[in-house]
Amino acid sequence: MRKFDYRAPRFPVDLPVWLTLADTTQAARCKEISTEGMKIELSAPLHDGALGIAELSYESLSLKLPFRVAHAERESGAVEFICETKAQRNAIGRLVACLTSPQPCRSLAIVS
């Protein structure tokens, strides 16, 4: 029997995001998000396996999350969040819930 690797549900969004890798920061657009990572559109290519910090903001929620580039193409890519604490996992869960809810998000969390 074949084993299936299940992923967290992904949701289409259009959200600005800042990616910091080494000593450079670039603006990107999050086009799809889950509690595990996001698909992004960007102007400068990333490199598979690169590590960085993603800064995301939506309404009153602002997050800084470590990530690893899982897949990179010329103008798009996918990053996997590296949640180092339970607080980070909870914060990204709240962000995804806010982005997918018809109700306004009223919680504030800054995680680095």
Share of the chain above pLDDT 90, in %: 60
Question: Is 5 or 52 the better-scoring residue by pLDDT?
Answer: 52
Q: Summarize pLDDT for 65-102 with one digit per residue, the tens.
A: 999 999 999 899 999 999 989 999 998 998 998 888 87
Burial 75-90 (b: 16+ CB within 10 A, else e): ebbbbebebeeeebbe
Q: Which position has the token pair 């992904």?
A: 10
Domains and CATH numbers, the chain: 11-100 (2.40.10.220)
Average pLDDT of the chain? 87
Phi, psi of 13, rounded to the nearest 5 degrees:
-145, 175
Number of H helices, E strands in the chain: 1, 6
Mean pLDDT confidence for 38-55: 94
Mean pLDDT confidence for 40-46: 91
